[in-house]
Amino acid sequence: MNHVTFAMPSLRVYRATDDLAREVVNRFVRFGLVLLGLAIVLAGILIAPLPGPGGIPVIVVGLMIVLRNSFKARRQFVKLQRAHPKMVFPIRRLLRREPEVFPVFWQQYLRVERVVLPKRARFAVRTRRRFKRRR
């Protein structure tokens, strides 16, 4: 009896090519998500001048997508945070799993009011003090 044996190719070859293909696909998906996040940030910047807080949540969503998918963007965000902690802190609070939207909005409103209005015309500070007295 003649036994014919066939040499089976190693499974490692198939796994290596599958891993390579998966990695290439993952890079394209991450790149696409970064582009999508940048487009969302740009849309948020365009919406920002409209009345209301419409642009800020859109920008935060875009930043979340970009920062989760780009290592370079994460590094730049950390550098920006170290250079300007007061400016980046509200964005970091909004990027958390359970963001504190109203406190961030209120604090930013108070900052804008302090810059824009004279001291005696600040509406939010007087209103907050009235509510504190009533409680």
Each residue's pLDDT tens digit, 87-125: 888 878 877 778 777 787 777 777 777 777 777 777 777
Domain range summary for the chain, segments of one domain joined by +: 13-83
Predicted TM-score (pTM) of the model is: 0.61
- DSSP per position, 82-119: HH-HHHHHHHHHHTSSS--HHHHHHHHHHHHHHHHS-G
Q: Quickly count helices (H) and strands (E) in the chain.
A: 6, 0
Inform me whether the pLDDT recorded for 10 exceeds 80: no
Mean pLDDT of 13-42: 85
pLDDT 10s digits, 53-85: 778 778 888 988 998 899 999 899 889 989 998
First to last CA, the chain: 99
Could you count the other beta carbons within 10 Å of the beta carbon of residue 62?
A: 20
Report pLDDT for 3.
65
pLDDT score recorded for residue 4:
64
pLDDT over 70 at 130, yes or no: yes
